[in-house]
Amino acid sequence: METSEILNKFSPDHKNMLGILHALQDNNPNNYLNEEDIGAIARYLNTTLSHVYGVATYYTMFSLKPRGKYIIRACNSPVCNMIGSVSIIEELKKVLKIEVGETTDDRMFTLELTECLGQCDIAPVMMINKEIYGNLDAEKIKTIIENLKNK
Ligand code: FES
């Protein structure tokens, strides 16, 4: 979808900044906000580039660099930490052969950490795009990643 079509779904009001950022990021096949997006938002909302950059960099759900088709967000908050998220994160790094913050060479997966996902009862937890996966262990991680690779 064209950027202008997306912008026109919102009234040009600053309170719509987050919604617009989400919509443009979701529209990008590489799951990020590029310079053109930031410029278009600034013009549409009649604000400065630095203001839009400030908002986009404040929230961890936005990225200014290309990411994978699947954004994996592993919970790194206390409850998940107590129930083994550190080894889950290590397993993800091993299976994907990347570090936190990196994207696989085939642009399939990006690994990120997140604060509590509100699913502590099924800790340790991760979210892949908009789907939650809980009660994770090394075997489950391998299966989930394999299934996504074969989709
Ligand atoms: S601490 Fe991980 S989901 Fe709450």
The C-alpha torsion from 59 through 61 and 65 to 68, rounded to 10°, is 170
Dist CA 53 CA 39 (whole Å): 9
pLDDT one digit per residue (tens) for the chain, 151 residues = 899 999 999 999 999 999 999 999 999 999 999 999 999 999 999 999 999 999 999 998 899 999 999 999 999 999 999 999 999 999 999 999 999 999 999 999 999 999 999 999 999 999 999 999 999 999 999 999 999 998 8
Measured in Å, residue 79 CA sits from the centre of ligand 1 at 5
Instruction: Say if CB 25 and CB 63 are below 8 A apart.
Output: yes
Cβ-based burial of 10 (10 A; exposed 0-12, middle 13-18, buried ≥19): middle
pTM score of the predicted model: 0.85
Using the atom order of ligand 1, give the atom closest to the CA of residue 124.
2
Candidate of 125, 127, 133 to mutate for ligand 1, largest count of ligand atoms within 8 Å of Cβ: 125
Measured in Å, residue 116 CA sits from the centre of ligand 1 at 4
